[in-house]
Amino acid sequence: MKKDNSTRREESGVPLKTGQEVMIGNFAIARGLVEAGLDLAAAYPGTPSSEILPGIIEFNRREKGSIHAEWSTNEKCALEVAFGAALAGKKAACMMKQVGLNVAFPSLLKGRHKAIQGGLVVISCDDPGPQSSQTEQDTRLLASLFNIPVFDPASPKEAGDTAYYALQYSYDHKTPVIIRPTHRVSHAREMIDFFSPGLRKVTLNEGVKSGKGRKLGIVASGMSYALARDVISELALEDAISLYKVLRVFPLERGVIEFAAGCDRVLVLEETDAVLEALIDGGERVFGRRSGHVPGQGELTYDVVRGIVQQVTAEMGIKAEVFTPDPAIEEAMKGVNVLPRPPKLCAGCPHRASFFAMACAYPDAVFPGDIGCYTLGIAMGAVDTCLDMGAGVTLASGFYDTFKQDGDLVPILASVGDSTFFHACLPPLYDAVQKQKQFILVIMDNGTTAMTGMQPTPQTGITADGSPASSIMIEDIVKGFGIEFVRIIDPYDIPLMIATTKEAYDYLRKEGKGPAVIITRRECILTAKGRDVAPWDMGRLEEDCIGCKACVKAFDCPGLMFDEERRKIRIDQGVCVKCGMCYFACPTSAEGKSLRKFRDKRSREKG
Amino acid sequence: MRLEIVCAGIGGRGVLLASTILIEVAAEAGYRAVASDEYGMSQRGGSVVSLVKVGDFESPLIGREKADILLSFEESEFYRNLAFLKRGGTALVNTGRKALDGPVADLLKDRGVPYYLVDADGIAVEKGMMQASNMALIGFFSRLGVTPYTAENMESMIKRRVKAKLVEKNLEVFRAGYGYEKG
Per-residue 3-state assignment (H helix, E strand, C coil) for A161-213: HHHHHHHHHHHHHCCCEEECCEHHHHCCEEEEEEECCCCCCCECCCEEEECCC
In this complex, the residue of B32, B76, B107 whose CB is nearest that of residue A329 is: B107
The neighbouring-strand residues paired with A151 are: A179, A248
Instruction: Tell me the chain A residues in contact with residue B83 when contact means C-beta distances shorter than 8 Å.
Output: 325, 329-330
pLDDT tens per residue across span A381-421: 999 999 999 999 999 999 999 999 998 889 999 999 999 99
A579 within 8 A of A348, measured Cβ to Cβ: yes
Question: d(Cα A351, Cα A419) in Å, to the nearest integer?
Answer: 14
pLDDT in tens, A474-518: 999 999 999 999 999 999 999 999 999 999 999 999 999 999 999
Tell me how many degrees the CA angle A229-A235-A238 measures, rounded to the nearest 5: 55
Count of beta carbons in the 10 Å neighbourhood of residue A198: 11
Kindly report the backbone phi and psi dihedral angles of residue A559, in degrees, each rounded to the nearest multiple of 5, phi listed first.
-85, -10
Q: Are B170 and B135 in contact (CB under 8 A)?
A: yes
pLDDT digit string, tens, across residues B69-98: 999 999 999 999 999 999 999 999 999 999
- Nearest Cα to A386, choosing from B44, B41, B46, B39? B41
Give me the helices (H) in A451-493, please: 474-480
C-alpha to C-alpha distances, A252 to A150, A207, A256, A565, B59, nearest whole angstrom: 9, 11, 7, 63, 23
A300 to chain B: nearest residue by CA? B61
Q: Which residues lie closer than 8 Å to A13 by C-beta, 6 or more apart?
A: none
Judge whether B74 lies within some domain: yes
Minimum CA–CA partner of A342 in chain B: B46
What value does the mean pLDDT take over residues B44-59?
90
Using CA atoms, how far apart are residues A194 and A197, in angstroms rounded to an integer?
A: 9
Is the pLDDT reported for residue A10 higher than 50?
no
Q: CA of B30: which chain A residue's CA is closest?
A: A191
Whether A606 has a pLDDT exceeding 50, the answer reads no
Alpha-carbon gap: A338 to the closest alpha carbon of chain B (Å): 6
Closest CB to B63 among A155, A187, A306: A306
- Interface with chain A: mutation pick from B44, B58, B75, B84, highest number of A CBs within 10 Å: B58
**Sequence-ordered strand ranges (E) for A207-364:** 207-210, 216-221, 241-246, 248-250, 265-269, 286-287
CB distance B139 to B176 below 8 Å:
yes
User: Helices A494-511 and A350-361 sit at what angle, rounded to 10 degrees?
Assistant: 50
Contacts of B45 in chain A (CB under 8 A): 341, 344, 346-347, 558, 575
* Element housing A442 (H / E): strand A440-445
Burial A87-106 (b: 16+ CB within 10 A, else e): beebbbbbbbbbbbbbbbee
pTM of the model: 0.93
3-class secondary structure for A542-568?
Answer: HHCCCCCCHHHHHHCCCCEEEECCCCE
Report which secondary-structure segment, H or E, holds B71: strand B67-72
Reported confidence tier of residue A12, pLDDT bands at 50, 70, 90: low
**DSSP symbol at A316:** T
Residues of A in contact with B46 (CB under 8 A): 341, 343-344
Q: Which phi and psi angles does A178 have, rounded to 5°?
A: -110, 140
Give the DSSP letter of residue A340. Answer: P
Cα–Cα distance for residue pair B53/B65, rounded to 1 Å: 14
Helix residue ranges, H only, A88-155: 98-111, 139-145
Torsion, Cα A447 A453 A457 A463, to 10 degrees, reads: 120
pLDDT tens for each residue of A79-129: 999 999 999 999 999 999 999 999 999 888 887 777 799 999 999 999 999
Q: Which of A325, A333, A526 is opposite residue B65, by nearest beta carbon?
A: A325
Residues of B in contact with A156 (CB under 8 A): 34
Q: Is B152 contained in some domain? A: yes
Do A204 and A248 contact (CB within 8 A), yes or no? Answer: yes
pLDDT band at A9 (very low <50, low <70, confident <90, very high): very low
**Can you give the CATH number for the domain in which B172 is found?**
3.40.920.10
Asked whether residue B93 is domain-assigned, the answer is yes
* Mean pLDDT value across residues A448-462: 92
Cβ distance A190 to B59 less than 8 Å, yes or no, reads no
B183 within a domain of the structure (yes/no): no
Residue B115 has pLDDT above 50, yes or no: yes
Question: How many angstroms separate the CA of residue B92 from the nearest CA in chain A?
Answer: 17
pLDDT digits (tens, 9 = 90+) for B133-159: 999 999 999 999 999 999 999 999 999
pLDDT in tens, A229-255: 999 999 999 999 999 999 999 999 999
Is B56 a member of any domain?
A: yes
Residue A154 to residue A184: CA distance in whole angstroms: 9
Q: Kindly report the average pLDDT of chain A as a whole number.
A: 93
Separation of alpha carbons A550 and A429, rounded Å? 36
List the single residue in A with minimal CA-CA distance to B80: A338
Identify the three-state secondary structure at position A283. helix
Name chain B contacts of A576, Cβ cutoff 8 Å: none
- Put simply, the chain A residues between 89 and 148 with a CB less than 8 A from any chain B CB are 131-132
Structural domain range at position B40: 2-178
Domain count, chain B: 1
User: Rounded to an integer, what distance in angstroms lies between the CA atom of residue A126 and that of residue A133?
Assistant: 9
Q: List, as ranges, residues 13-52 from A with C-beta within 8 Å of B.
A: 22
Across the interface, whether the CB atoms of B33 and A155 are under 8 A apart is answered no
Pairing status of strand A68-71 against strand A40-43: parallel
Residue % of chain A over a pLDDT of 90 = 85
In a domain, residue B125? The reply is: yes
Q: Does a structural domain hold residue B157?
A: yes
Q: What angle do CA A111, A139, A419 make, to 5 degrees?
A: 80
Name the more confident of A451 and B141: B141
Among A305, A267, A223, CA closest to B63: A305
Q: What is the pLDDT of residue A6?
A: 44
Q: Between A606 and A547, whose confidence is greater?
A: A547
Q: Which domains does chain A have, with CATH numbers?
A: 17-195 (3.40.50.970), 207-315 (3.40.50.920), 343-532 (3.40.50.970), 534-607 (3.30.70.20)
In this predicted structure, the answer to whether residue A605 has a pLDDT above a threshold of 50 is no
Any domain includes B44: yes
CB atoms within 10 A of CB A114: 15
ipTM score here?
0.95
Q: What is the pLDDT of residues A311-322, one digit of tens each?
A: 999 999 999 889
A133, A160 Cβ separation under 8 angstroms: no
Collapsing DSSP to helix, strand or coil, A516 comes out as: strand
Average pLDDT over residues A186-200: 95
The size of the A-B interface in CB pairs under 8 A is 137
H or E stretch at A254: helix A254-262
When CB atoms are compared, the residue of B24, B58, B104 closest to A332 is B104
- Residues of chain A with C-beta less than 8 angstroms from the C-beta of B66: 234, 302
Q: What is the mean pLDDT of residues B30-36?
A: 95
